[in-house]
Amino acid sequence: MANPNQVRRDLIEGNAALLVIDIQAGIFIGADDDQRSIDHMPGHTDRLRKARIAIDKARESDIPVIFIQEIHRANLVDFGRELDGEEDVHCLDNTPNTGIARAETGFRDDDYLIQKRRYSAFYGTDLEILLKGLKVETLLMVGGLTNVCVHYTFADGHQGDYFCRTIEDCVAASSTQAHDAALAQMEYLQAGGVRSLSETLEAMDAYAAKRAV
């Protein structure tokens, strides 16, 4: 171990919020791999459907649920360097498929919604203001892509001194290799930053019980 003073934190430290990152309608519409603007790892949609379990448990546990939506103007003016890599045009504001996947996530009209133009949910948004208002210390994360928007949101949360926890079986990447590599990078930043759904549900139950006392 390079850091002999490494501290193993609780899964939830202080107040928590669940970030539902980019689980949008187009993900669940059938398309051949060669027709997608972004590659998907095997089991991609199954992993994101499982996020509903975490969302429902968060609601039961009085943990705020914050939906993150990637959205771009139809004239492509705000993509910046995003199209220089592997991703083609996606998430345009004049396309219904860009909306939150309501049926799959249980999204409600009064839910918190943060719209973003970049990979990180912090960059150019008011997420930080919302989190401070909610007095959040721990960020629980589900959604996609593991190696892009989840990874960069985790990194920015880490740099903002939040305790960051990615629920590894409720996130999906562009490939299995990219998924595993991104999770390893997150765990490198925070020991215990990558957690299973089952242990997260247990932590949510304990969180709710503690707050009920």
What are the average pLDDT values for consecutive 10-residue runs of the chain, which has 213 residues?
A: 80 98 87 61 95 98 97 78 69 83 95 95 98 99 96 99 99 96 98 98 97 84
Q: Is 3 a member of any domain?
A: no
Q: Is 5 a member of any domain?
A: no
The secondary structure of the chain as a DSSP string is ---TT-----SS-SSEEEEEES-BGGGGS---GGG-SS---TTHHHHHHHHHHHHHHHHHTT--EEEEEE-B-TT-TT-GGGGGSS--S--BTT-GGGSB-HHHHT--TTSEEEEESSSSSSTTSSHHHHHHHTT--EEEEEEE-IIIIIHHHHHHHHHTT-EEEEEEEEEE-SSHHHHHHHHHHHHHHSTT-EE-HHHHHHHHHHHHHHHH-
pTM for this one?
Answer: 0.92
- pLDDT score recorded for residue 37: 67
- pLDDT score recorded for residue 185: 98
Q: How many domains does the chain contain in total?
A: 1
Q: Is 8 a member of any domain?
A: no
Q: Is 177 a member of any domain?
A: yes
Q: Is 10 a member of any domain?
A: no
Q: Is 55 a member of any domain?
A: yes
Q: Is 9 a member of any domain?
A: no
* Domain limits for position 142: 16-212
Q: How far apart are CA 189 and CA 63, in angstroms?
A: 24
Q: Is 38 a member of any domain?
A: yes
CATH number, domain with residue 27:
3.40.50.850
